[in-house]
Amino acid sequence: MRRWPFAVASLGAAGWAFYNGQAPKPQGFGRTFVGTPGQGRLMALTYDDGPNTAWTPRLLELLAEHDVKATFFSIGHFAEEQPELLREVAAAGHAIGNHTYNHVAMPFHTDDTIRTELRRATEAIEGAGVEMPLVQGKRLMRPPWGRRRPGTLRVLREEGYVPIVWSVTLWDWTKRVSTEKIMRKAERQISGGDVILLHDGCNEGMGWDRRHSIEATELILTQWKKQQGLEFVTIPEMIERTGFVVP
């Protein structure tokens, strides 16, 4: 009996599952917010893994210079370590979202563990004196690495979070990153309506060098805001103005 059709179908299903669970834009496992890539003139800069004492302050200065508000997805235990810095981020008008307490890969954990990670991160952020914005009654949450499965998204909905992913991946976390490499990827991907993924910290520890991410931020704002006139807003404002209905 020939088994190859079954094998091909199995490989195809596995590929579909991996694509929808790992790639940022697919919606096969459930709706997430990725902006409106290729449509409109709104843009959202987002930063993961902070706050970071080494580079978050400089990033705040840069965003203020360009009169831009961004969205920061904070790791819970860093929020506990640096509550004053997180308060500075919020006081500057930027939106704060949940990025779990320990930066866990959520699909590989039980529902109870995911709930605990979400709860501890939110408690750390709010314990720092920061009010997390509500979008249609839900807080913002970004799964670490963007990884998700149907159960992950179900738990997020049940716990009162809207999952935020992205449409532009600039790979600024890689070991051999450079500002030039980041900008080459930006040139290829940015088309308007995008949610851009960058990092002001690193889950591996406080003080991580993110100078290339900050330099790329300035170049992105110069090219797409100053020269092309795109409007950079927070995720809550982008959701409101694009009419996205939170699942």
Q: In whole angstroms, give the CA distance from residue 216 to residue 212.
A: 6
The amino acid that residue 244 corresponds to is: F
Determine which one of 48, 49, 194, 200 is catalytic.
Answer: 48
Tell me whether residue 85 is in a domain.
yes
Question: How high is the mean pLDDT in each 10-residue block of the chain (247 residues)?
Answer: 54 59 80 95 98 98 98 98 98 98 96 98 98 97 95 96 98 95 98 97 97 98 96 98 94
At residue 134, the pLDDT reads: 98
**Position 190, amino acid:** I
Rounded Cα distance between 73 and 89, Å, is 11
Is 155 inside a domain boundary?
yes
Amino acid making up residue 209: D
The answer to the question of residue 218 being in a domain is yes
67 is catalytic: no
* Cβ(96)–Cβ(74) below 8 Å: yes
Is 23 domain-assigned?
Answer: no
Q: Is the dihedral of CA 198, 238, 236, 65 positive or negative?
A: positive
DSSP assignment of 58-94 equals HHHHHHHHTT---EEEE-HHHHHH-HHHHHHHHHTT-
Per the structure block, which two tokens stand in for 172? 């600024």
Q: In whole angstroms, give the CA distance from residue 123 to residue 101.
A: 9
What's the rounded Cα separation, in Å, for the pair 75 and 124?
9
Q: Answer whether residue 13 is part of any domain.
A: no
Give me the amino acid identity at 176. R
- Structurally, the chain folds into a number of domains equal to 1
Query: Strand pairing partners for 134?
Result: 139
48 is catalytic: yes
pLDDT of residue 24: 84
Evaluate whether 54 touches 243 at the Cβ level (below 8 Å). Answer: no
The terminus-to-terminus CA distance of the chain in angstroms comes to 45
CATH of the domain at 72: 3.20.20.370
Q: Does any domain span residue 76?
A: yes
Query: What was the pLDDT predicted at 165?
Result: 98
Secondary structure (3-state) at 162: strand
* C-alpha pair distances (Å), 246 with each of 155, 161, 173, 192, 242: 14, 9, 29, 21, 12
Whether 150 maps to a domain, the answer reads yes
Identify the pLDDT of residue 23: 80
For residue 129, is it within any domain?
Answer: yes
Residue 236 domain boundaries: 32-242
User: Please, which residues have CB within 8 angstroms of residue 155's CB and are 6 or more apart in sequence?
Assistant: 111, 114, 115, 118
Distant-in-sequence, close-in-space partners of 87: CB < 8 Å, separation ≥ 6: 128, 129, 130
CB 98 within 8 A of CB 121: yes
What's residue 26's pLDDT?
Answer: 80
Catalytic one among 99, 103, 199, 212? 199
pTM, full prediction? 0.93
Give the pLDDT confidence score for residue 18 in this predicted structure: 57
